[in-house]
Amino acid sequence: MARVIFGSALRRYTGGVDEVEIEAATVRSLINALDRRFPGLGEHLGSGMAVAIDGEIMTDALYEPVPEGAEVHFLPPIGGG
């Protein structure tokens, strides 16, 4: 199982839950599993968020594998200039 940590921006979609353990082989299947658990969350996770798996930040990561015991963070886009 992977441990998914939700930052404060996502907790409003999880009812305040800050972390869960989910079984998933890829980031895409992880998002689908999270959306089943927290309906509507998948829409927010798939909209321009980067994913950090065990500290490695990836963009366009839908087909990246999620290793057993991984720690996963979804990172919202950061604006700046």
Q: Domain 2-75 belongs to what topology?
A: Ubiquitin-like (UB roll) (3.10.20)
- Tell me the C-alpha to C-alpha distance, in Å, between residue 81 and each of 35, 78: 33, 10
Q: Structural domain boundaries of the chain?
A: 2-75
Which amino acid type is present at position 11?
R
Contact 76, 6 (CB under 8 A): no
Number of Cβ within 10 Å of residue 40's Cβ equals 8
Q: What is the pTM of this model?
A: 0.90
Number of Cβ within 10 Å of residue 74's Cβ equals 23
pLDDT tens, residue by residue, 2-54: 999 999 989 999 999 999 999 999 999 999 999 999 999 999 897 678 999 99
Number of Cβ within 10 Å of residue 77's Cβ equals 10
